[in-house]
Amino acid sequence: MSFDTPIQEQGGVLSGPLRAPANMLIEQEYGGHKSIHDDAEAERLGFRAGPIEGPTHFSQFDPLLVNLWGQTWFERGCISCHYKNMVVEGEQVRVFVKPESETRATCWAEKADGTPVLEASATLGPDHGETLLEARMAKLRPAGELVILSDLSVGMVGKQDEPIKMAADQNMGALYPFSLTEKLEKITERTPWYNDAEASPWGRAIIPTEMISVLAEYTNRMAGFPVKGPAIGLFADLEIRYLDGPLFVDEDYLIRREIVALSQGRRTENYWTRTRIFDATGTRQVAETLLNHGVLKHSYEAYPPELLA
């Protein structure tokens, strides 16, 4: 076992310990201003404090899924997650994994008081079946009248291929103002696979699952999707899928993006983006993310009052 995380099993359900993840996006800039992860900005928008970034919780699942499927989890695993409630720094979270078959598990996370944080499916490919987010997308209603996202359309692709890599000490920019090394100092679950090539079964340090979304979103402005602003967004749903993983530290990759769905809720307009991650040649896909990016309607000053719920 590569992780030092204690794992319990009861009634066929695996669980990890309570963890208190850190908010590393307090200094995040979003469209030239503070993001929802800043306490003051979150309170202005009606939230009690700046939330932990959602993908952070994926790290708590990795030890349980490696326990279930071994190193293959980082090679062809998929976690498909719907967020239910925000977590703020200081709150504790526990994750659960219930195997349903040899290649599928139901996952969820709860706060210490039992408040649900997220629900997810975890699958092992290449045949993943229908993931939780694919099932949610299939049930989407027509988006209706959009304001912030009115210039987007399903099938729209990024303007260019986006070259990307994540070096250990590379600051990941305004959206992610920290490096992988800084993340590993605060990550909830530790393994030498993340920073010791000799300890890694692949002979190289690998990028943690929670940091795949950081890699995928680092160059997102290059896509040129015409989202109106300034407005503040958040992750409503996120799927990370390894196809030919793992992803390696300090490795060159190429990213291609596509809008695959549009929707809206009472407080948000949503655009669903599939981001495909290829090797540097652009010929071999190694991973992909599916992100439901919710943009808060009332954070956009020009939003028509009559359209606000």
Backbone angles phi, psi at 263, to 5 degrees: -155, 180
Between CA 306 and CA 290 the distance in angstroms is 31
Backbone angles phi, psi at 43, to 5 degrees: -65, -35
Q: Which residues pair with 241 in a beta bridge?
A: 78, 288
Domain 8-125+143-307: give its CATH architecture.
Roll (3.10)
Between CA 209 and CA 273 the distance in angstroms is 18
* Residues sharing a CB contact under 8 Å with residue 268, sequence separation 6 or more, in sequence order: 234, 236, 294, 295, 296, 297
Between CA 214 and CA 175 the distance in angstroms is 8
Joined together, the tokens standing for residue 282 give 């652009």
pTM as predicted:
0.92
Closest CA to 188 of 97, 116, 121, 93: 93
Between CA 47 and CA 147 the distance in angstroms is 23
Between CA 155 and CA 260 the distance in angstroms is 6
Q: Contact 29/175 with Cβ under 8 angstroms?
A: yes
pLDDT per position in the chain (309 positions), as tens? 589 999 999 999 999 999 999 887 654 444 554 444 444 554 455 555 556 888 999 999 999 999 999 999 999 999 999 999 989 888 999 999 999 999 999 999 999 999 999 999 999 999 999 999 999 999 999 999 999 999 999 999 999 999 999 999 998 876 777 899 999 999 999 999 999 999 999 999 999 999 999 999 988 888 999 999 888 888 889 999 999 999 999 999 999 999 999 999 999 999 999 999 999 999 999 999 999 999 999 889 899 998 886
Token pair 């990307």: residue? 164
The alpha carbon of 122 is separated from its chain's Cα centroid by a whole number of angstroms, namely: 14
Between CA 258 and CA 172 the distance in angstroms is 22
- Which sequence spans correspond to the domains of the chain? 8-125+143-307
